[in-house]
Structure 1
Amino acid sequence: MPTNETLLESPEGPTEWNPFNGPLKNIESWNFQLLAALMFVVTSLSIAENFIVILVTIKFKQLRQPLNYIIVNLSLADFLVSVIGGTISIATNSKGYFYLGSWACVLEGFAVTFFGIVALWSLSVLAFERYVVICRPLGNLRLQGKHSAIAILFVWVFSFIWTVPPTMGWSSYTTSKIGTTCEPNWYSGKTTDHTYIITFLTTCFIFPLMVIFGSYGKLMRKLRKVSDTQGRLGSTRKPEKEVTRMVVIMILAFLICWTPYAAFSILVTAHPTIDLDPRLAAIPAFFAKTASMYNPIIYVYMNKQFRRCLYQMFHCNDPEAKESNINPTSERVMTNRTNNGGEMLAIATHITNSSNREEEQSSCNSFAQIPMSDNKVCPM
């Protein structure tokens, strides 16, 4: 285990400024107060949203099924990022420097990186899971609890393997240029540190990005193929449009959140001596931390199953109830399928069921067939 001086080597080099003793003198205090206020909003919303996701999953038995395990895992990781990293960031920005000391810097750097990568890989597993359920590349294999448990175990172990090395001497966690947050040492010019950064970016950004694009790309081609067949039969393309919109939002959110941080990391790793304004250098990390706030909105609240359970938990009227009154038989079929298989599978089965019987039989091998039950939308 290296000493704290090695772990917390200042990116500014051997200068008089010490991020643990005081703020940068060339940055006015209102800049730090603004960052503290923004982090307070992001952290508060993230903790509340992700806590609600975990709570509603515990309360409603119908949500505790394999297709939702990874969503809850994503919420747990985002919740922990905000509880540890968010609260520390609010405290240090309110003071303008990392007054909590070197141990807190290492804690924040490791916790934010570790839980952030857990959330990032959870998004990839979620994309692959949806691809497997809808496109059936593994034949009749159905997703079970043990499969989801193995996937979650992989996410946590894999993320730990690639985030613990900086605490053991392969690279380090250090203060950022602005001095109020800690992160992997992108600024080091050492070859050993460069090898870690390259490996880290490859395994924890490039690989999950490839999984997301590959899985959602194949999923969209599958649904478009079915939708084109329906178009010739005069059927609606609304389900395909809903999936397309959801997938586009998911990919754009991923890119907006993580691309600036990855690009910044590559830039400063390739040019450690580059002269960047500390406030500008803090923006990519801030964007990455906002993921914990909008992930629940995109991956949970856009899910009809979770959304209806939320309405029931808070005793709110379900605005989608009118639709079920218009066509109660069709709505009951869709509700039961959503209960047992998730929103993506429900949309896919809706697509196949809107075709004639012959077309449905030719398509049934491409989509998981879910047994129907008479359960309520969200039984406790």
Structure 2
Amino acid sequence: MIVSNLTVGTCTRTNSALCSSAGDGHSEATSFRTLSPTGHLVVAVCLGFIGTFGFLNNLLVLVLFCRYKVLRSPINLLLINISFSDLLVCVVGTPFSFAASTQGRWLIGKSGCVWYGFANSLLGIVSLISLAVLSYERYCTMMGATEADATNYRKVALGVLLSWVYSLVWTVPPLFGWSRYGPEGPGTTCSVDWMAKTSNNISYIICLFIFCLILPFLVIVYCYGKLLHAIKQMSGVNTTMGRKREHRVLLMVITMVVCYLLCWLPYGIMALLATFGAPGLVTPEASIVPSLLAKTSTVINPVIYIFMNKQFYRCFRALLKCETPQRGSSFKSSSRANKPVRAVRRADNNFTFIVASVGQATTVVHNQADNLEERPPSTDSAKPAVVSLVAHYNG
């Protein structure tokens, strides 16, 4: 993750492994302020909690994806990319900062500090860009004039590749002289050097802030805003179902945006204060809080984007009960239905409606937020089952 280097920093004996570059023009000749032993202990406990639950949550997501074929849809591949990057943060990043906090100093030297800063920055930006790509994909699926192709992985695969390439574009430059990676906060983690006042460093920080924090946020707000607008339009077509869906998606969108801001906005604000503010403006205690909030995204992301998804939740319950999805259950993919389908497409103003008669097959409702929901067939054999698919807003 892009962890902020927010306190005035160079060397003391406890951080001597990081001090060899103090005279290279990047650091200021001031004393490195650190936390009290109690402060380091509190940070270690928080990091232990974040690392443990972040690892378990994201590992569970990957297990569900591997076990249940019904989850292997294109849009879920983006969710898996988010979980994979967050899982790597818990494996290659958090253990080192946890160990350093227990000892009150960085433990793996200058090279380890550079590697830690690069790896966490790379994985953090991958997660942020994946969230933006996910919102854009949902927006395109909702606003598209045709049904999404559940077998076409090409577009989503390009989105996953984009998230990694984009992240590399912004995390490799510090390795070659555009800014640098160094100790952050109280000296127990490493990240981009936010403290250097050179034009080289400030230009990189401004670009990083705009293109890796503000831009993804704007994409998320725009796409989910348009999605909510489309669902509101559909509410007028089917009041009961439309209102229910509108409220559910509105809750999900608000949760996503609030958690994004809670995790990352304090991070960006404190980093800018450290970069452009007076030396000593940000204390070690204040600097470590945004860093911890950003790391909690590894715990929160699976909860919001995975376990609020009904498909994943059903598979999770089946996993807990050691069940195998049965034929005709809610796990069954609609594409496997062997009943003949008669589809009628009609246009009405800015909407396209699709209605299909499927005999006595299960009723499938296409839900853009939660993929597919299937309901059991009606017990009334006199009435044919009618499948009401999503209404596409074409405006």
**Which of the five TM-score ranges fits, normalised by the shorter chain?**
0.7 to 0.9
**Counterpart in the other structure of 1:300:** 306
**Counterpart in the other structure of 2:382:** none
Residue 300 and residue 331 in structure 1: after superposition, are their counterparts in 2 closer, same or farther (change >3 A)?
farther
**Counterpart in the other structure of 1:65:** 73
How many aligned positions are there? 332
What's the CA shift for 1:333?
A: 2.6
Q: Percent identity?
A: 31
Distance 1:198 1:64 in 2: 38
**Counterpart in the other structure of 1:244:** 250
Aligned with residue 290 of structure 1, among 296, 301, 305: 296
**Counterpart in the other structure of 1:77:** 85
Aligned with residue 19 of structure 1, among 15, 18, 21: 15
**Counterpart in the other structure of 1:270:** 276
What's the CA shift for 1:364?
A: 3.9
What's the CA shift for 1:45?
A: 0.3
What's the CA shift for 1:47?
A: 0.4
Q: Residues 20 and 102 of structure 1 are in contact (CA less than 8 Å); yes or no, is this contact kept in structure 2?
A: no
Q: Residues 33 and 94 of structure 1 are in contact (CA less than 8 Å); yes or no, is this contact kept in structure 2?
A: yes
Q: Give the TM-score, by structure 2 length.
A: 0.77
Give the alignment's Cα RMSD to 1 decimal: 3.1
Counterpart of 2:158, as a letter, is I
Q: Deviations over 1:216-239 (max 9, x none)?
A: 0000000011113333xx666212
Q: Residues 55 and 90 of structure 2 are in contact (CA less than 8 Å); yes or no, is this contact kept in structure 1?
A: yes
**Counterpart in the other structure of 1:39:** 47
Counterpart of 2:313, as a letter, is R
Q: Give the TM-score, by structure 1 length.
A: 0.79
Q: Deviations over 1:75-97 (max 9, x none)?
A: 00000011111111111001001
What's the CA shift for 1:12?
A: 3.4
What's the CA shift for 1:14?
A: 5.5
Q: Deviations over 1:163-185 (max 9, x none)?
A: 11111111011111300011111
Tell me the SS of whatever aligns to 1:175.
strand
Residue 96 and residue 13 in structure 1: after superposition, are their counterparts in 2 closer, same or farther (change >3 A)?
closer
Q: Residues 19 and 179 of structure 1 are in contact (CA less than 8 Å); yes or no, is this contact kept in structure 2?
A: yes
1:162 aligns with 2:192: no
Q: Residues 243 and 344 of structure 1 are in contact (CA less than 8 Å); yes or no, is this contact kept in structure 2?
A: no
**Counterpart in the other structure of 2:318:** 312
Tell me the SS of whatever aligns to 1:182.
strand
Counterpart of 2:276, as a letter, is A
What's the CA shift for 1:65?
A: 1.4
Q: Residues 6 and 287 of structure 2 are in contact (CA less than 8 Å); yes or no, is this contact kept in structure 1?
A: no
What's the CA shift for 1:274?
A: 3.8
Q: Residues 134 and 344 of structure 1 are in contact (CA less than 8 Å); yes or no, is this contact kept in structure 2?
A: no
Superposition pairs of residues 124-163 of structure 1, within 5 angstroms: 124-136=132-144, 142=149, 144-163=152-171
Please list every run of 5 or more consecutive structure 2 residues that lacks an aligned counterpart in the other structure: 19-30, 325-329, 331-358, 375-387
What's the CA shift for 1:33?
A: 1.1
Distance 2:251 2:373 in 1: 16
Counterpart of 2:363, as a letter, is V
Superposition pairs of residues 318-329 of structure 1, within 5 angstroms: none
What's the CA shift for 1:269?
A: 1.5
Distance 1:35 1:308 in 2: 35
Distance 1:236 1:210 in 2: 26
**Counterpart in the other structure of 1:321:** none
1:333 aligns with 2:363: yes
Residue 225 and residue 100 in structure 1: after superposition, are their counterparts in 2 closer, same or farther (change >3 A)?
same
Higher normalized strand content (fraction of residues): 2
Distance 1:85 1:44 in 2: 12
Distance 2:34 2:89 in 1: 30
Higher normalized helix content (fraction of residues): 1
**Counterpart in the other structure of 2:113:** 105
What's the CA shift for 1:27?
A: 3.4
Aligned with residue 370 of structure 2, among 333, 343, 351: 343
Counterpart of 1:204, as a letter, is C
**Counterpart in the other structure of 2:229:** 221
Q: Based on CA coordinates, which of the two structures has the bigger radius of gyration?
A: 2
Distance 2:262 2:33 in 1: 31
Distance 1:31 1:10 in 2: 16
Q: Residues 68 and 342 of structure 1 are in contact (CA less than 8 Å); yes or no, is this contact kept in structure 2?
A: no
Tell me the SS of whatever aligns to 1:12.
coil
